[in-house]
Copies of this chain bind each other. A is one copy, B any other.
């Protein structure tokens, strides 16, 4: 079946309803475009789980703070369309800003608490924008299985929370981070990096791996684990925004505890030049991020 492209919300809604009306199940992969192998891993996982897969492609203005990269965020529609087609995506929804935020629109969805720390501390209003636009996509798509990458770990938790709290008929699947051969997490923003920056960016996953090994060897001191990560970032002159160990579900920070539990999120945001990169690993659950990358195949969606 050829890829069906929709720019209007009503058409996309009908197409989604039609999938279910014919007895099928719908997979939904919301993206901001500039698609890469990470997104396609979500698509492939969706294809395994559902009958037909819809990708949404929308650079959502409300999730960018003032001074962030909304204007220059990479937009590669024709390339994205081809990639979706060759990956067997059935429905592609590419709305305009006016379609998603028509004049008079004035409703916001806010997930509180778990949005306070990590990226939420530094990106004012970001998760309100995410929660709002994702709610709109869920409203249009209806009953579906929606897939999100774990690179945006806090985003995944926010969306899991909003689906549960607003009692939406949506199953959320978090997909393991897809990494380049050197371990750098796939991201549309990697396109901003110069060749030198791209090399130095690997310090993030090297640092995460170093902490992972330390945790694996029994280290349960938050400051010492953080130090393992930080030293790699500093040695490659990355500007650290945050490095944090938190509860993997409610995202509460463990601070300087030296008796960490068996499963903790280690998350990082750092600037490589002018480009803000994020990455994470769930210690006690995920494999060593560097080894997983070297092995070359991300584990399947959970």
Please tell me how many copies of the chain the complex holds. 2
A235 → chain B, closest Cβ, in Å?
Answer: 39
How distant is the Cα of A139 from the Cα of B163 in the complex, in angstroms? 9
CB <8 Å contact, A167 and B108: no
Interface flags for A127-157 (1: CB within 8 Å of B; 0: not) read 0000100011101101100000000000000
Whether, in the assembled complex, A292 has its beta carbon less than 8 Å from a beta carbon of chain B, the answer is no
Q: Given the complex, which residues of B lie within 8 Å of A142, measured CB to CB?
A: 142-143, 169
Interface residues of A in 104-134 (CB under 8 A from B): 104-114, 131
Which B residue sits closest to A136, measured CB to CB?
B167
CB <8 Å contact, B139 and A167: yes
A21 → chain B, closest Cβ, in Å?
Answer: 10
CB <8 Å contact, B112 and A166: no
Number of interface residues of A (CB under 8 A): 30
Whether, in the assembled complex, A75 has its beta carbon less than 8 Å from a beta carbon of chain B, the answer is no
CB <8 Å contact, A110 and B111: no
Whether, in the assembled complex, A228 has its beta carbon less than 8 Å from a beta carbon of chain B, the answer is no
How distant is the Cα of A43 from the Cα of B70 in the complex, in angstroms? 47
Whether, in the assembled complex, A168 has its beta carbon less than 8 Å from a beta carbon of chain B, the answer is yes
Q: Given the complex, which residues of B lie within 8 Å of A164, measured CB to CB?
A: 105
Which B residue sits closest to A135, measured CB to CB?
B166
Binding site for B on A (CB under 8 A): 9, 13, 104-114, 131, 135-137, 139-140, 142-143, 161-162, 164-169, 250
